[in-house]
Chains A and B, each alone.
Chain A
Amino acid sequence: MPATPHLSLSLGPLLYLWDGPKWRDFYFRIADEAPVDHVTLGEAVCSKRLHFIEPHVAEVIERLEAAGKKVSLASLALVTLERESQLVRGLVRDSIHPIEANDLSALGLLAGKPHSIGPLINVYNGATARLLASRGATSICLPPELPMASVSEIVRDAPDVAFEIFGFGRVPLAISARCAHARSKGLVKDNCQFICGDDSDGLIVETLDRQPFLVLNGVQTMSHTCQSLLQELPALTAAGISRIRLSPQDCDMVTVARIYESVAAGLMSAAEGLARLVAAYPGVPLSNGFHYGQTGASWIEAPAGARHGGERWQMR
């Protein structure tokens, strides 16, 4: 089985609201056991949630760095209030760790400082990637909806920046000023009682025909399916992608990381990896349609040339 060289794993920011101790223990275990080189942490979805994790951030960073992980801090994805602007300004001004920009305000404030670009910044072409690189971006996690054809072009077009792909997790699809999660429980955003914390892996939105479709995560709407580009790792590496982002779900992320590590190293077939992934994150169908320029929710069998080893993996 061919190895997949020069591919590292990164852990994206936890997008759900977990209570402080659960959040801390999750990252402690990542530090101790997960084969990821890079961890981006911090609250990206809703500024109201920050106080849940703040008491634990310092000890988590210390533990991760002691384990040899590179740590970045995520900025907020949606900044509308003065308080939120101040938070982003403070983060950019005071952080001794690199920042991942997730909105245009962070992007502007980070000019001239080395930083990374999160998947919610619209990088759809090489010209944009080059512009961001010229302003100090050293890595870019491309938007999850980008098809492979665009990914290849962008990487080729912007050789001075490292590229990361959203390789595992429910896909953040939209963000709103309105909190659909609070609304679903008869509340509004300004008096939400942190109700999104009740759903540690998102709140399922089903169609009227009881087909699971999306999940709510506070002001963010995510896919019900879990995007997995496990069988596409060789093609992504060949295209020049250097990092695969694993987006934390409420499942055993250490196992998930080990599966990606094994498949990337050629020690496990993609088919076996996918079977183990389904076992590690039960009840959540996998998707990869965005990668093939198809419906994002769909599952597409990788072309034979892109697969290594193993029998054909049937999703459903």
Chain B
Amino acid sequence: MELICPAGTPAAFREAVDAGADAVYCGFRDETNARNFPGLNFSRDELKTAIAYARRHKVMTFVAINTFMRAGQEKLWHDAVDDAVRLGADALILADFGLMAYTAERHPQQRLHVSVQASASNADAVKFLVETFGAKRVVLPRILTIPDIARLARQISCEIEVFVFGGLCVMAEGRCSLSSYATGKSPNMNGVCSPASHVRYREDGSELVSELGDYTINRFPAGEAAGYPTLCKGRFDIAEERGYAFEDPVSLDVMDHIDALRDAGVGALKIEGRQRGKAYVAEVVSVMRRAVAADATERPALLSRLRRLSEGQKTTSGAYEKRWR
């Protein structure tokens, strides 16, 4: 199975290549990609250099252009596609139908992957994207169980890539406006979720309060580690119940299910984390490279090492296991 690795900087990109990635995915330094964070992503020149480095090591480069084109400013997204193609991207990861149509028409030879942000969660949806835009691969939303994926794989003619490690969306990706409801900035339009520009921490007595826009997302008593106020991983009150209403502050780890995913027909495992530093990327990629190749007896030791990288966070198999629902 291919290992698809994140790079938010040229340094992380090289680390991912050196650590054994089959493909590295990255985006341009603007709103055209869904990790539009300050200090991250690639200029055209940086992408050119990165692709050349990857090529020398027989590694592929996927360019994520996976936000939705803002009406009237489509040129920003068209330019991103044209430049990524010109610079030699091995695949473009797209979410917007209008941009997929543009790419299929202007660059019919370009390999097109369906971003998780497109929310193609069933066989008829994937068929629509394959038939309409010639999509070669779909990145599945993190809402399917492994049996769901196996059933889907039998019905479609394109490759399947799934997220296995890193951040976890609780909501169906590409269909969530929670962030813009609280901050005016959304994943679909701006490539950000719960953006740092709208985050505040304040002390209230002995508690640390995290806020997003005008909303309290969590309160941490003294001694409890304070997490980032991602909206869907906050603590809320529902009637008399207080707690993590949508999901605990966990990250995704389905590496225990590598064999089941392979048997289900998954051809590529994706690591989330373009916002992570190069040391993290290097470590995660090298351990995962070995874990994918290892047999069932060697794997647990490697995976426990991987788990330490989740920074003390709890991990979950998310929707891949039915009981998560």
Chain A residues with a Cβ under 8 A of chain B? 77-82, 84-85, 88-89, 103-109, 111, 120, 122, 124-132, 135, 143-145, 149-151, 153-154, 157, 171, 173-180, 183-184, 188-190, 203-211, 213-214, 216, 221, 223, 289-290, 293-297
* A174 lies within 8 A of B97 (CB): no
Q: Is B216 an interface residue (CB 8 A)?
A: yes
* A89 lies within 8 A of B124 (CB): yes
Complex alpha-carbon distance, A158 and B151, angstroms: 37
Partner-binding segment picked from B55-63, B65-73, B295-303: B65-73
Q: Supply 30 A–B pairs (Cβ within 8 Å), ascending by A.
A: A80-B122, A85-B122, A85-B123, A85-B124, A104-B128, A105-B124, A105-B125, A107-B125, A108-B125, A108-B127, A124-B70, A126-B98, A150-B72, A174-B177, A174-B232, A175-B175, A177-B319, A178-B247, A180-B245, A183-B245, A184-B239, A190-B322, A206-B238, A207-B237, A208-B219, A211-B214, A289-B184, A290-B177, A290-B181, A296-B177
Complex alpha-carbon distance, A120 and B96, angstroms: 14
Query: Which residues of the other chain, A, contact B219 by a CB distance below 8 angstroms?
Result: 208
Q: Is B189 an interface residue (CB 8 A)?
A: yes
- Considering only residues 85-104 of chain B, those with a C-beta below 8 Å from chain A are 95-99, 101-102
Q: Is B84 an interface residue (CB 8 A)?
A: no
Complex alpha-carbon distance, A190 and B325, angstroms: 7
Q: Is B249 an interface residue (CB 8 A)?
A: no
Size bin of chain B's contact surface: 35 or more
Closest to B324 in A: A178
* A144 lies within 8 A of B177 (CB): yes
- Considering only residues 118-145 of chain B, those with a C-beta below 8 Å from chain A are 118-125, 127-129, 131-132, 143-144
Tell me whether A108 and B236 are in contact in the complex, defined as CB-CB below 8 angstroms, given that A178-B247, A178-B324, A184-B241 are known contacts: no
* A132 lies within 8 A of B143 (CB): no
Tell me whether A150 and B71 are in contact in the complex, defined as CB-CB below 8 angstroms, given that A85-B122, A128-B97, A188-B323 are known contacts: yes
Q: Is B182 an interface residue (CB 8 A)?
A: yes
Q: Which of B71, B119, B237 contacts A208 (CB 8 A)?
A: B237
B156 to chain A, nearest CB (A): 12
B159 to chain A, nearest CB (A): 18
Query: Which residues of the other chain, A, contact B132 by a CB distance below 8 angstroms?
Result: 108, 131, 135
Among A82, A122, A188, A297, max chain B CB count under 10 A is at: A122
* A157 lies within 8 A of B184 (CB): no
Tell me whether A103 and B125 are in contact in the complex, defined as CB-CB below 8 angstroms, given that A188-B323, A290-B180, A296-B177 are known contacts: yes
Closest to B232 in A: A174
Closest to B117 in A: A122
Partner-binding segment picked from B166-174, B254-262, B281-289: B166-174
Q: Is B292 an interface residue (CB 8 A)?
A: no
B78 to chain A, nearest CB (A): 9
Contacts A122-B175, A189-B325, A190-B325 given; 16 further ones with Cβ under 8 A? A79-B121, A80-B121, A80-B144, A85-B123, A103-B125, A122-B174, A122-B188, A125-B98, A145-B189, A173-B177, A174-B175, A174-B176, A208-B235, A221-B178, A295-B183, A297-B214
Query: Which residues of the other chain, A, contact B319 by a CB distance below 8 angstroms?
Result: 177-178
* B236 lies within 8 A of A128 (CB): no
Tell me whether A176 and B122 are in contact in the complex, defined as CB-CB below 8 angstroms, given that A145-B186, A203-B238, A295-B213 are known contacts: no
Closest to B213 in A: A295
A113 to chain B, nearest CB (A): 14
Q: Is B217 an interface residue (CB 8 A)?
A: yes
Complex alpha-carbon distance, A77 and B122, angstroms: 12
Q: Is B74 an interface residue (CB 8 A)?
A: yes
Closest to B323 in A: A188
Tell me whether A124 and B189 are in contact in the complex, defined as CB-CB below 8 angstroms, given that A173-B176, A173-B177, A174-B172 are known contacts: yes
Closest to A179 in B: B325
Closest to A207 in B: B216
* A125 lies within 8 A of B96 (CB): yes
Among B122, B182, B183, max chain A CB count under 10 A is at: B122
Q: Which of A105, A124, A221 contacts B128 (CB 8 A)?
A: A105
A172 to chain B, nearest CB (A): 8
Q: Is B280 an interface residue (CB 8 A)?
A: no
Tell me whether A153 and B237 are in contact in the complex, defined as CB-CB below 8 angstroms, given that A105-B128, A122-B188, A295-B182 are known contacts: no
Closest to A215 in B: B238
| Minimum-distance CB pairs A-B, first 6 | A108-B128, A127-B98, A104-B125, A153-B71, A105-B124, A177-B143
Tell me whether A150 and B325 are in contact in the complex, defined as CB-CB below 8 angstroms, given that A104-B118, A203-B238, A296-B177 are known contacts: no
B284 to chain A, nearest CB (A): 25
Q: Which of B97, B101, B171 contacts A221 (CB 8 A)?
A: B171
* B182 lies within 8 A of A297 (CB): yes
A155 to chain B, nearest CB (A): 9
Query: Which residues of the other chain, A, contact B174 by a CB distance below 8 angstroms?
Result: 122
* B246 lies within 8 A of A127 (CB): no
Q: Is B148 an interface residue (CB 8 A)?
A: yes
* A145 lies within 8 A of B171 (CB): no
Closest to A89 in B: B124
Q: Is B230 an interface residue (CB 8 A)?
A: no
* A173 lies within 8 A of B68 (CB): no
Query: Which residues of the other chain, B, contact A128 by a CB distance below 8 angstroms?
Result: 68-69, 96-98
Query: Which residues of the other chain, B, contact A297 by a CB distance below 8 angstroms?
Result: 181-182, 214
Complex alpha-carbon distance, A302 and B169, angstroms: 35
B59 to chain A, nearest CB (A): 31
B145 to chain A, nearest CB (A): 8
Complex alpha-carbon distance, A106 and B118, angstroms: 14
* A145 lies within 8 A of B188 (CB): yes
B123 to chain A, nearest CB (A): 7
* B325 lies within 8 A of A127 (CB): no
Query: Which residues of the other chain, B, contact A84 by a CB distance below 8 angstroms?
Result: 122
Among B95, B97, B178, B324, max chain A CB count under 10 A is at: B97
Query: Which residues of the other chain, B, contact A150 by a CB distance below 8 angstroms?
Result: 70-72
